[in-house]
């Protein structure tokens, strides 16, 4: 079975799967410039914190490779790269992976400039350093996700003494899988790892209103991989815990993160906080799966996170493929449908912040971080250089 790929890259070429057309149509957009990447990210044809950062970094690598930088001096080359990255930074405000990637790329080209000082090919060395650093972000993300999957599955297995005879069920929210990353995924990566180890009984996924990343993308990924799974609306989570927790052995809610700040407060898709409150009430563990590229140690608490607000039409309208009278889906015909009085006032925050007190573990590619006796997360084991 072919693996799902949101991002197809080879040096000089970037293709991005249009997630707005999923699950009915698989169409890749060619993304060759920063402007195209900005538009792809802003319109959510690509979304998910790691995927946003990867597409932005690689789109600029492609344009550099294709000769977009007309500067001749090393200083002007750096100024050009900075200006393109600063522009891409404005595409979406909440996920910190993009900002971390930009800082890393700016540092990589500065190192190359210092090393190339006085050399006539200094500009080429800077461009090469950028392209290699951007490509490394893509490769590292996949490596990170595989490690998150393994650490997360091991942590949950230990918590519940899960085994093939006593597998666990989990609930996830939004889409954190191959489509939101370079592959495997973060929270969905843990679910994939549990499944491959025979430790997963069942995965529940929420619809994830208003953008339906759960019903459009996560349910598609789960079905694609043959993982036993069930879709619920966001509002059914309480009933799920109340009525099925014991029978289905529901052990954890596993979500991704757009930004984890220094005290462990976590911004993630709207509805995550509600699930964390419900999970605590029902004694279900609440696990955040996030690579260290999603951790922002500069921001002390969740109050410092800029939460994106999106357009009203995401609540008042919906689009999808047309369903024929016989129940089959015609992907060639799409329709946009009004589902509310179009004059109603709308508030549409794309994310919420889950307080660290409600989080049991934050699983990174370097291991699971849990709270100490003081009730605080300590990231020194996974990010010693920045703690
Ligand atoms: O608005 P989106 O679809 O970009 O939001 C995505 C999420 O909130 C994900 O849960 C998060 O980015 C983690 S993706 C591994």
Check residue 366 and give its pLDDT: 98
Report CA(173)–ligand 1 centroid distance (Å): 9
Which of 53, 174, 255, 289 to mutate to test ligand 1, by most ligand atoms within 8 A of the CB atom? 174
CB atoms within 10 A of CB 366: 17
Report whether pLDDT(3) > 90: no
pLDDT in tens, 271-290: 999 999 999 999 999 999 99
Check residue 141 and give its pLDDT: 97
pLDDT in tens, 120-175: 788 999 999 999 999 999 999 999 999 999 999 999 999 999 999 999 999 999 99
pLDDT in tens, 186-218: 999 999 999 999 999 999 999 999 999 999 999
Check residue 2 and give its pLDDT: 66
Report CA(104)–ligand 1 centroid distance (Å): 21
Confidence of residue 83 (pLDDT cuts 50, 70, 90): very high
Pair 275, 205: CB distance under 8 Å:
no
Check residue 386 and give its pLDDT: 86
- Residues lining ligand 1, judged by CB closer than 6 Å? 47-50, 95, 174, 176, 180-181, 186, 213, 256-258, 268-269, 350
Taking the CA of residue 256 as reference, the ligand 1 atom at the shortest distance is 13
Say how far apart CA 180 and CA 228 lie, in whole Å.
21
Measure Cα distances from 95 to 70, 246, 294 in Å: 31, 35, 7
Report CA(128)–ligand 1 centroid distance (Å): 30
pLDDT in tens, 96-120: 999 999 999 999 999 988 887 668 7
Q: Is 258 a catalytic site residue?
A: yes
Report CA(179)–ligand 1 centroid distance (Å): 10
Which of 42, 255, 258 to mutate to test ligand 1, by most ligand atoms within 8 A of the CB atom? 258
Pair 294, 260: CB distance under 8 Å:
yes
User: Is residue 367 classed as helix, strand or coil in its secondary structure?
Assistant: strand
| ipTM confidence | 0.98
Catalytic: which of 97, 141, 258, 360? 258
Which of 173, 209, 268, 352 to mutate to test ligand 1, by most ligand atoms within 8 A of the CB atom? 268
Check residue 240 and give its pLDDT: 98
Check residue 114 and give its pLDDT: 82
Check residue 1 and give its pLDDT: 63
Percent of residues, the chain, with pLDDT higher than 70:
99
Check residue 121 and give its pLDDT: 82
pLDDT in tens, 236-247: 999 999 999 999
Whole-model pTM: value is: 0.96
Angle between helix axes 49-65 and 97-116 (nearest 10 degrees) is 30
174: left (phi over 0), alpha (psi -120 to 50) or beta: left
CB atoms within 10 A of CB 170: 26
From the number of C-beta atoms within 10 Å of its C-beta (0-12, 13-18, 19+), residue 375 rates as exposed
Confidence of residue 387 (pLDDT cuts 50, 70, 90): confident
């Amino acid at each position: 079975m072919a693996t799902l790929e949101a991002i197809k890259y080879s040096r000089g070429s970037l293709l991005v799967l249009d997630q707005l057309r999923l699950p009915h149509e698989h169409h890749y957009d060619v993304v060759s410039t920063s402007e195209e990447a900005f538009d792809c990210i802003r319109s959510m044809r690509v979304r998910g914190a790691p995927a946003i950062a990867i597409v932005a970094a690689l789109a600029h690598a492609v344009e550099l490779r294709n000769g977009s930088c007309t500067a001749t001096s090393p200083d002007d080359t750096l100024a050009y790269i900075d200006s393109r990255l600063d522009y891409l930074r404005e595409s979406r405000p909440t996920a910190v992976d993009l900002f971390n990637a930009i800082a890393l790329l700016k540092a990589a080209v500065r190192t190359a400039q210092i090393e190339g000082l006085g050399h006539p090919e200094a500009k080429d060395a800077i461009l090469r350093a950028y392209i290699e650093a951007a490509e490394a972000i893509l490769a590292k993300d996949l490596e990170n996700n595989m490690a998150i999957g393994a650490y997360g599955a091991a942590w949950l297995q230990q918590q519940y003494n899960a085994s093939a005879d006593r597998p666990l069920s989990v609930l996830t929210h939004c889409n954190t899988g191959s489509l939101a990353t370079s592959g495997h995924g973060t929270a969905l990566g843990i679910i994939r790892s549990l499944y491959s180890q025979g430790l997963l009984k069942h995965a529940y996924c929420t619809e994830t209103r208003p953008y339906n990343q759960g019903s459009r993308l996560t349910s598609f990924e789960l079905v694609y991989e043959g993982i036993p799974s069930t879709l619920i609306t966001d509002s059914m989570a309480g009933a799920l815990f109340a009525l099925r927790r014991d029978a289905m052995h529901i052990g954890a809610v596993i979500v991704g993160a757009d930004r984890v700040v220094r005290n462990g407060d976590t911004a993630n898709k709207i509805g995550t906080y509600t699930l964390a409150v419900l999970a605590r009430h029902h004694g279900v563990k609440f696990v955040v799966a996030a690579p260290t590229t999603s951790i922002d140690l500069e921001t002390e608490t969740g109050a410092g996170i800029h939460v994106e607000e999106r357009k009203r039409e995401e609540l008042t309208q919906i689009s999808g493929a047309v369903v024929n009278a016989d129940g089959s889906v015609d992907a060639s015909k799409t329709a946009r449908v009004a589902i509310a009085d179009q004059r109603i006032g709308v508030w549409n925050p794309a994310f919420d912040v889950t307080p660290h007190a409600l989080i049991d573990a934050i699983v990174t590619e370097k291991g699971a971080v849990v709270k100490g006796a003081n009730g605080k997360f300590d990231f020194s084991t996974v990010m010693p250089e920045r703690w």
